[in-house]
Structures are given as C-alpha cells and as structure tokens.
Amino acid sequence: MKSKGQADFEDFTSEYNMRNFLITSLIAYTVNTCYAVTVTDVDTDNLKVIVKPLISQRDADNNKIELPEIFNVPYFRYGAGNTAVKLDPKPGDIGFFIVFKSDSNNVKKGDASQIMPDTFINFPLYSGVYVGGILMNEPENYIEIKDDSITINANQKLVINCQNAEINAETEVNINAPNINLGENASLALINEKITDALNSHTHNYVNTAGTPTPTTPPVVPFVTAQYANVNIKESV
C-alpha cells in the first residue's frame, strides 16, 4: 500500500531509505532529459519552434498539471557544411525536445564559437533542441530508400536545379509522361541529333551493271552540326 504522494512507507523506515528518497526526488525534479512534444508554432527564418510537452505532471491527489509551452526552441535540420535537407517542422508535428545540460540562450545561428552560459542553471527546461518527427501520418511527399530501390514521390511538383546533370543506367531509362516539354536549346539539340543520325545513315538505290538495285554506302565524311550557323545547335559526333 502506498501513502499519499510519491513516497512509500518503507522510504521512512530507515535513515538510508530516507536519504535515498530525497536524492532520487532531487534528481527527478532537477534533471530534465527528453520530452515528447508537439509543435505549436514555427519560425522558419530563425529555425525555431514553440513546443508543448505531451506528457503532463500530476499532483499527490492524481490531478493533471499541464506544462506550459516552451518558446524559441531551435529545431534540428540534417546537414553538413553548405549542404542540408530542408525539412521544416509544421504545427501539429510530434517530436523530441532534448534538454541541454547548460543554458544555451547565447548560442547563435551560424556561430560555432564557444560561449558562456547565461545562468548557472543545469538542465533548464527552456534550453534545448527539437528533433522531429515521430508518430507521423503516412506522408504524401517522401524519399523511400530500400535495399533494391530508391523512390522519390512528390504529390504535385518535383524541381531539380543544377549546373550539370548526369544519369548513368546499366540497362535503360524510361520516362512515362503524357507530355514532355523541353527548353529551346534542348529541343534544337534533340531535333538536330535526329537529323544528323538520318544524314549519316542516308543511302540511295542505284542499278548496278547486273541490273540489280543496290543501295549506296553512307557518306564517307560524317555530317556534323558545326556546319550550322546557329550556336544553340550542338555538334553530334
């Protein structure tokens, strides 16, 4: 049978038990580690969120004590150097709030220098980082990585910006789309490549001395697109 509150009767039966109860109680009330939280607001400019703990406290009468929101919490973004996965949290997301050992309010965005903490408080509940997300609904936009395939699914639009693109496939490349739109230069290059292939394989039939129609050989000198004045048309070798 437990007494009202958090102490058991045996916690008062010896000096050791009493001290053990006091020490464990102090640790429980002063050392914050990790909380399950939900996001209530997002500041993408400063990479910070407002979160609210999902698990409340309770008093000796078993009444619920709600914990307040925690403000200005930096959120985790997977990245290194100038490369990152830009995946900002959304209100309603569920994740972890990991509490720092020391006050981290002086840590600034983009500043990797060592700083002094604002206070002497250890494990302050207002100081930590949000890492999401857990217990998520089935996503509509995702990158799925398996042993035999990698799938990128976008429910509306997929944009790739780069200076150079390269696709290497050992067997084939398939594009399944009702419409394919190419830019002006890409269209000219594609059309010109087809024309060049046709000219380099072009033959005529003629009648040889035996009276048999015989095709000529393709041109000895390959036709090259450099003969065009249009600089947008690439040379095809």
Q: Supply the DSSP string of 105-148, one letter for each residue.
A: TT--TT--S----SSS-BS-TT-EEEEE-SSPPPPSSEEEE-SS
pLDDT given for residue 96 in this prediction: 92
Contact 123, 31 (CB under 8 A): yes
Beta pairing, strands 79-80 & 83-84: antiparallel
Would you say 42 and 90 are in contact if contact means Cβ atoms under 8 Å apart? yes
| Overall average pLDDT of the 84-105 stretch | 89
Does 185 share its domain with 114? no
Is the same domain home to 33 and 91? Answer: yes
Listed in sequence order, the residues at least 6 apart from 20 whose beta carbon sits closer than 8 Å to its beta carbon are: 11
Task: Yes or no: say if 82 and 26 are a contact pair by the CB < 8 Å rule.
Answer: no
**Is 237 a member of any domain?**
no
Model confidence band, residue 222 (pLDDT cutoffs 50, 70, 90): low
Structure confidence at residue 133 (pLDDT): 80
Q: Assess whether 86 and 22 both reside in one domain.
A: yes
Least confident range of 76-85, 104-113, 210-219: 210-219
C-beta atoms surrounding 48 within 10 Å:
19
Question: Is 126 found in the same domain as 16?
Answer: yes
What was the pLDDT predicted at 33?
Answer: 83
Highest mean pLDDT among 11-25, 79-93, 185-199: 79-93
Looking at the fold, whether 117 and 16 belong to one and the same domain comes out as yes
User: Are 30 and 125 contained in the same domain?
Assistant: yes
Residue 198 burial (CB < 10 Å; 0-12/13-18/19+)? exposed
Per-residue pLDDT at 110 exceeds 80: no
Taking the whole predicted model, whether its pTM rises above 0.85 is answered as no
Task: Tell me: do 15 and 124 sit in the same domain.
Answer: yes
Radius of gyration of the chain (CA): 34
Mean pLDDT score, 64-78: 89
Q: Is the pLDDT of residue 233 over 50?
A: no
**CATH number of the domain within which 83 lies:** 2.40.50.230
Instruction: Print the domain residue range for 210.
Output: 181-227
Give 198's pLDDT tier (boundaries 50, 70, 90).
Answer: low
pLDDT over threshold 70, residue 153:
yes
- The verdict on whether omega for the bond into residue 133 sits within 30 degrees of 0, i.e. cis, is yes
- Of the three residues 95, 111, 132, the one that is the final residue of a domain is 132
Q: How far is CA 214 from CA 187, 198, 199, 205, 218, in A?
A: 36, 19, 18, 5, 13
Answer yes or no: is 162 within a domain.
Answer: no
pLDDT reading at 184 higher than 90:
no
- Predicted local distance difference test score (pLDDT) of residue 64: 86
| pLDDT value at residue 2 | 46
Classify 41 as helix, strand or coil: strand
Total domains present in the chain = 2
